[in-house]
Amino acid sequence: MGNADRADGTREDRESGLRSMAMHFGGRVVEGKDFREAVLERMQANLPGFPPERYEAELDAALTRIDEEQVRVMSRREQLITEARQLDPLDAVFTIHYFNRRFSDRVGEYGLGRINLIDALGDLYSREQVTEAVHRCDALIDEAIRMGYGSWEHESNMARLRRSHPGFSDRSLSSALDWGHLIHR
């Protein structure tokens, strides 16, 4: 192994690093946080030594992978909305609002943002019903997250949530409680 390989990593490490960097910066381009030209300059500065066309090719490949993943993400979101529309108003709003709070800002969502509750459920429930349900969902989620500090006795915690937040299904209560435990483990 030559000195350059020791200082900069193996060829495989550099290739892998370039692919990872392209995905990271490609996500920023898709989200509108960066311009393509600026991203290419940063890639070259962060991991020098590849020909300029290689950075472009990796970024293009990453953008293609991101486009394909966005299609899968949109399909999962449509399925979530379809499932939510089959539930009573409180659990329907919880299903989407919980997703929005917990998952919508993750990197794997590629800047798609939150699901608009009125777009998803507004033909089934009034804006007032949705707004009231959001407030109740926030109260449930916030309490369940605080409960994550305490006991992991699932049934006693569920009983407490059932008393404090009537009208939610056990599925919604359990999802909120699981999130609280995940945050505080």
98 and 178, same domain (yes or no) = yes
| CA–CA distance, 171 with 182 (Å, rounded to integer) | 16
Q: Tell me, yes or no, whether 34 lies in a domain.
A: yes
133 and 63 inside one domain: no
Predicted local confidence at residue 73, as pLDDT: 86
Amino acid 149: pLDDT: 82
Burial of 96 (0-12, 13-18, 19+ CB in 10 A): buried
Domain boundary among 70, 95, 117: 70
Whether residue 18 sits in one domain with residue 94: no
Structural domains in the chain (count): 2
Asked, for residue 79, whether it belongs to a domain, the answer is no
Averaged pLDDT in 10-residue chunks for the chain of 185 residues:
49 92 92 92 95 96 91 91 97 96 75 88 97 98 90 89 97 94 80
Residue 75 lies in a domain: no
> Quick count: other Cβ atoms within 10 Å of Cβ 23?
18
Domain region containing 15: 3-70
